[in-house]
Each structure stands twice: as structure tokens, then as C-alpha cells.
Structure 1
Amino acid sequence: MIIGILGAGKMAQMLVPKLVSGEHRVILSNSRGPASLQALVEKLGPGVSAMESRKMLADADLVILATPWEKTAAAVAAAGSWAGKVVIDTTNNRRGPRPEDLIDIGGRGSSEVVAELLWGASVVKTFNYEPIPVFAGGLPPEGDSGAIFFSGDDAQAKEKVAQLIRDIGGEPIDVGSLAEGGKLHGMGGPLSLKMKLLAPKEAKALLAKARQVEK
């Protein structure tokens, strides 16, 4: 696939080499324009290019949203129409890792808020529930690890994202809908902050326990 990434920070830079190794092409974009990304593109190597966000959005088969929370609304608005796009939301309503860095969004799931910004898109939440270095070090996995939680409301979009997770060596674990599942593996939820990628069997057991507690 051609995978666009909106935002070129640590999340994007962690994912790009894994996506390229899975034989996907990657288009980076940010608020400062493609010229600001040329050094990064050269560093990341073949299979990576940079475009203005509207062009990226038009060309991409799937888009990964990797923007800081407070810049997300402006960034997605500047990119144009998201109708019909499959979007992986990696954002969290946080300024940093400390408890006081949490941004109050009224008890809603962060991806529910993002989905409202991306009118007409199919949003799938993943790569959001552990610190970035955990994903960086755990994909591709060593041995029986590499379970990756994801959630969303569109079955076809979820299968597309599940295959992408497989392409980079992970084992997709469907947590459910964007509202209910998203809260389980949102940062601070019962599936988050284990500081490692779990084995699939371990991840499924943890999910079953979290769902039982929710009931």
C-alpha cells in the first residue's frame, strides 16, 4: 500500500522503517511542508517521500495520524476531505507522560473525538497504548510476543489495519468498537502501559479480564 503519515515526529519515525520493510511505500507530511522533511526522508531511505498534506491524503491508501493532540484539529483540517479514507489514530489526549499531562476531554475516548474531526473516514485506533520505544523494540517481535491491540467500527477498515500489523510482524488483537474497545486500550486503560508487547495468548487473557471488569 501507499501509506501516508500526518506528523513526522517520534511515532512516524518509529513506524516508517517497519512499514518499508513490509514492502509498503510511505509518504510523510507535516504542517511545515515537504521541504522541512527532506533531511528526514534521506535518512529514512528508499520507499519514503514527503508531500504537502493535501497531496498525501489524496494519494494514500491508508493514513496514519501521528500528530500531537493539541495540533491535531488544525492538522486534519488543513489536509482537506477525509471521506472514504482508512485512518489509523495513534494520538492520545496528553501533553506528556505525567498524570498532570492528561488533557480533559470530558470522559470520552480520544479516538471518538478524533473520528468526529475526520468526517467520512473509517478510524482504527492502535499503536497508542504503550510508550513509543516499546513498539520500536517489540516489532518485529522476538519469540512469542508482538500482540497489537486495535479497535474500530468498520470491519473492512479493521481488516486492512490488521493486515498491516501482520506485515510488520505483529499479531492483531481486535478489542472491539472505537468507543468501548478504544477506552480499554487507550493510554491509562486496563490494556495499556504494560511496558512490553504481550504474547497473543497473554493479550487475549488480559482482554477477557478487562471486559469482565467492565461488565
Structure 2
Amino acid sequence: MAGHRSRHIMQDQEGLEQDMKIGILGSGLMGGKLGRNWAACGHDVTFAYSRSTSKLERLARDAGASYGSVAEAVDGADALLLSVHWSRVDDVLEQATASLGGKLVLNCCVPLDEGNSNLVIGPNDSGAEELARRRPDVRWVSCFNTIPSEAFAPVFARKGQTPAPQVFTYSDDDAAKEIAGGLIRDVGFEPLDTGGLRNGRYVEPFALATVELAYMQPGGPALTYRFEKLR
């Protein structure tokens, strides 16, 4: 496994300094771009799970990060990003084995069919809830599943400008949601608390609306959103 170790300091719930080691489980468009941005922030990133080892090696080299197996990415990680097609979720979870227990996992998967056209779960259930049933020992936080990957680079380049674009963020674990919020802010977005995992029933269909807006409507795919309450 190629390796690089960098240091990023952030505050945890008790105000203590700690390093953030992030494993990327699924190094395609979503995982590759988010992992690159987190590495640019100074996080210790390990890319994993790709059809091509050479692709993982290239991602790691370009980002100043590491690459390896799913088990290696999970081992010792403070946080993980699950960013694979829904059809590959079982395979990733199996490769992660028991070491995934107790880990914070940011999930950006939408439960789509092979053609990426229709949800295979819903309307009275969600992918977020299904993942929690499969691995109840994991601290699940769903986020980034309503943002096209093409938006990550321009948003990161504008990091610090206000108002920041928002990301629907939902979880049954408030402490995990808080930590995930720090990682979301690191890449230039603002977490928008969207309640518990049950609300994936409403957020996941919204992801298909963002697909329409980003890829089918004029103006390019780098779509973001921000909701405001008027006073």
C-alpha cells in the first residue's frame, strides 16, 4: 500500500484535539473528489474499492494520500465515506468485516437500479434505513447524496465565502452528525440538519430531482442549493 501521512487538527465533542483519518470506500467520482479535497485540508486519506488498482494509486499519488484494501481503509479510521453504487454495497460491507463496528460512516449512496433511473427502495423505506438495519453497529450519517460531484471542485475553491451551499445531512446519532458536519464544512459546504435516517424516504427521491436539474437542464452540472427561512 502506498502511504502518506499528514496531520489535520480539529475539535471533537469535548474540545480535544485529534487527527482525522478518513477511509474512502468507493473511489469513483464522488469518493475520488471528496477524498482529494479532504486530503488537501490535511486529513489522512486512504482510497479503497475500485476496479482498477492503478486508479487508486493515481488518486493517492495526486492527492498526497494512501490507497489500499477496504479492510486497510477501515482499520484505524476516524471516519469513512461510503460512495459506491447501491449494487456494490453488500460487497463493500462484507470486505469491511467486523472492524466496521462503531465507525462513523458518511453515506452518499442512493438506492438506484443498475440503470441509475429508479429507486429500488421506497416510498415507505429508504436506503439510509436499510444500511442501518444491515449494520446497526455503525454510526451512519447520510450526506452528499443530493450534490453532483461536479460541484465539489468549484465549491472547495470558494471555501470561506458566504453564504455556503448546503448539504442535506441526516442521522439518528447527533454526535456523529456533528463530527460529519465538520468534514462537510472542510470541503466548503454547510450541513443542513434534515433530521433522522427515516427522512431518507424524502431526501433520496430529491436526489433524482437534482439529477434532472444538473444534467438535463441548461447551465452545466455543478449544481448547489441553499434553503432560507424568510422572516
Mapped partners of 2:150, 2:63: distance in 1: 21
Q: Which blocks of at least 5 consecutive residues in structure 2 are unaligned?
A: 1-19, 215-222
Q: Could you tell me how far 1:134 is from its partner in structure 2? A: 2.8
Q: Could you tell me how far 1:70 is from its partner in structure 2? A: 0.4
Counterpart check, 1:179 vs 2:203: no
Query: What secondary structure is seen at the aligned counterpart in 1 of 2:164?
Result: coil
Q: Which blocks of at least 5 consecutive residues in structure 1 are unaligned?
A: 207-215
For residue 30 of structure 1, what is the aligned residue in structure 2? 49
Query: What secondary structure is seen at the aligned counterpart in 2 of 1:91?
Result: coil
Specify which of 33, 51, 70 is matched with residue 68 of structure 2: 51
Q: Could you tell me how far 1:183 is from its partner in structure 2? A: 2.8
Mapped partners of 2:188, 2:92: distance in 1: 30
- Deviation string, structure 1 residues 132-180 (Cα, Å, up to 9, x no partner): 2133433344552322220000011000001111122221111100112
Whether contact under 8 Å (2:21, 2:44) holds in the other structure is yes
| TM-score, length of structure 2 as denominator length | 0.75
Query: What secondary structure is seen at the aligned counterpart in 1 of 2:27?
Result: coil
Task: State the superposition RMSD in angstroms.
Answer: 2.6
For residue 112 of structure 1, what is the aligned residue in structure 2? 129
Mapped partners of 1:173, 1:106: distance in 2: 22
| TM-score, length of structure 1 as denominator length | 0.80
Number of aligned residues:
198
Cα separation, partners in 2 of 1:185 and 1:51, compared to 1, 3 Å: same
Counterpart check, 1:131 vs 2:114: no
Cα separation, partners in 2 of 1:151 and 1:71, compared to 1, 3 Å: same
Pairwise mapping of residues 34-183 of structure 1 onto structure 2 (< 5 A)? Answer: 37-42=56-61, 44-46=62-64, 48-81=65-98, 82-95=100-113, 101-107=117-123, 108-141=125-158, 143-180=162-199, 182-183=200-201
**Structure 2 residue identity aligned to 1:129:** T
